[in-house]
């Protein structure tokens, strides 16, 4: 079965600084990969996804992520963080060819200082 690890429970950055949120997965083949964002008390919104092809994917709100097969990683990046980016971020993995049920990481809480 696949698993997802988000090593950082909390990340604190200053507004305008760059951001990288880490996501590592465990799965034998190439999975489908997702990043979602959740504002407090709200549902999740898809930021970006990777199915195949170009390993650098662009998403909404200026986010991007890079799939690195050799490192089993799918880290989320943003060059300049805005205060409105403060939220909970979840990485998710879907095993292609299996049940297609996503496995979510435990989330990383992003705190943005002015």
Interface with another protein: number of residues (CB under 8 A): 23
Considering only residues 42, 55, 58, 80, which one is a binding residue for another protein as defined by CB under 8 A? 42
49: its two tokens: 């996804």
CB closer to another protein, 15 vs 73: 73
Among 43, 53, 54, 70, binds another protein (CB under 8 A): 43
- How far is Cα of residue 70 from the mean position of the Cα atoms in its chain? 17
Among 28, 41, 53, 114, binds another protein (CB under 8 A): 41
| 44 belongs to the binding site for another protein (CB under 8 A) | yes
> Is residue 21 near another protein by the rule CB under 8 A?
no
Tokens, residue 51? 């199915």
- As measured in angstroms, the least distance from the Cβ of 8 to another protein is 13
Write down the H helix ranges in 4-110: none
């Amino acid at each position: 079965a696949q698993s997802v690890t988000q090593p950082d429970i909390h990340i604190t950055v200053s507004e305008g600084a760059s951001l990288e949120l880490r996501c590592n997965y465990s799965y034998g083949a190439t999975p489908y990969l997702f990043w979602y964002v959740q504002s407090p008390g709200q549902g999740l919104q898809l930021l970006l996804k990777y199915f195949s092809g170009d390993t650098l994917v662009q998403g909404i709100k200026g986010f991007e992520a890079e799939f690195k097969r050799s490192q089993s990683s799918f880290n989320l990046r943003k060059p300049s963080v805005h205060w409105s980016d403060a939220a909970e971020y979840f990485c998710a993995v879907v095993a292609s060819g299996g049940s297609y049920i996503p496995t979510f990481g435990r989330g990383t809480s992003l705190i943005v200082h002015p």
